[in-house]
Amino acid sequence: MKKNIFILAIAAVLISTTSMAQIILNKSDMPQQDDTVRISVGINPGIIDLSETGANHVWDYSGLIPFQQRIDTFVSVTSTPAGLLFMFTSDFAVNMAGAFSFPGTGISQPYLYYKSTNSAYQNTGFAFTMDGFPIPAPFSDPDILYQFPLTYPHADSSNSGVDMNLPGTGYLLVDRHRTNTVDGWGTLTTPYGTFDVIRIKSEVTEYDSVYLDSQETGFGLPYSYTEYKWMGKNQKAPLLLVRDIAEGVVVEYTDSIRGSLGVNEKQNIVTKLAIYPNPVKSKATLRFNLKQKSTVEMATIDMTGKKLWQSPREEMVSGLHEVTLDALQMNLKPGHYFLQVRANNRTSTVKFVFLP
């Protein structure tokens, strides 16, 4: 009897030790072509304490509230408008139209390109279409997002960017420095579930410069931010990503489908959502299409998830609508915001910048 109790005690210790063992990430844990990941944007980042980390840590963010979703699809390089220039340096690309919009600028189809090797997972550049013409921007050196094997503790850094003339368009410069540190491991709980994870802290400093021939104007923008990514085995993308930028904190996490959050135009009542001009100086036009007669309300939300303005509910017929918005009456400060349109309890969101 004593022998059996002793064996059970040893087994319990082994099981406990195994459950507390940290994970090691490698190439097989990264996305591949044709993978898809559903992402929710959290509206209450205040529940996250970014200072909490370390060995065998428990992060419980089950209280995150989603208010927007998108689906990231990893597509073949050759299926993108600028794919020919990336086909020898990249494995796949992601269309980022669900995360970024540029209404009124002529810019569309933004893509990020990636390379996955046994030693690193890298961002190799980006591309977009301007007035129907593809504009590729391959990095001279890749931005190293993860260096393998990735475990705790670990640190690495990289310099990346692009310096190129855009024939008939202008000039583009991106100069980026990234420092990655694995600063914790343990378990993470979000509305999606509980997972064994490691946390990667990335500090990024960047300088972007653009000159447009058509407008005979240009601007330079120093930019710095910190990203925190909780990564799990075989998850393909961060289970939780927190981006701490000058305008506030942005939270995204891998999620399952949420019935009240529209993801694409086939599911949504609100389609063709756009705000222009963007950036907004004072007044702007919000344009959207309703698939059916709906009860509609609009709201402006800052990057911390705080609702700053909300319109009265209004019955609207199906079809195309344009609404004039006055950013000054909303008492907005310069920065990034979300404009949310809710129709019959289904929500669509567009991001805009206010620069008075």
Query: Quick one: residue 320, left, alpha or beta (phi over 0 = left, psi -120 to 50 = alpha)?
Result: beta
Residue 184 bridge partners (DSSP):
199
What letter represents residue 55's amino acid?
A: A
pLDDT of 9: 41
pLDDT of 215: 64
pTM of the model: 0.74
Residue spans per domain, the chain: 27-162+177-200+221-254, 270-354
pLDDT of 280: 86
Q: How buried is residue 82: exposed, middle or buried, by Cβ count under 10 Å (0-12/13-18/19+)?
A: buried
* Mean of pLDDT values over 285-290: 90
Residue 265 has which token pair?
């135009």
Cβ contact 115:91 at 8 Å: yes
Please tell me the least confidently modeled range out of 63-72, 108-117, 208-217.
208-217
* Mean of pLDDT values over 136-147: 94
pLDDT of 103: 54
Q: What is the rounded average pLDDT for all residues in the chain?
A: 84
pLDDT of 7: 42
pLDDT of 98: 62
Res 160 pLDDT > 80: yes
* 270-354 has CATH 2.102.10.10 classification: no
Q: What pLDDT, in 10s, does the model give residues 32-89? A: 999 999 999 887 778 899 999 999 999 999 998 887 788 899 999 999 988 888 989 9
Percent of the chain with pLDDT over 70: 85
Q: What pLDDT, in 10s, does the model give residues 326-342? A: 888 888 888 878 888 88
Q: DSSP characters for 269-332?
A: SEEEEEEESSSBSSEEEEEEEESS-EEEEEEEEETTS-EEEEPPPEEE-SEEEEEEEETTTTTP
Please tell me the distance from the alpha carbon of residue 112 to that of residue 194, in angstroms, as a whole number. 29
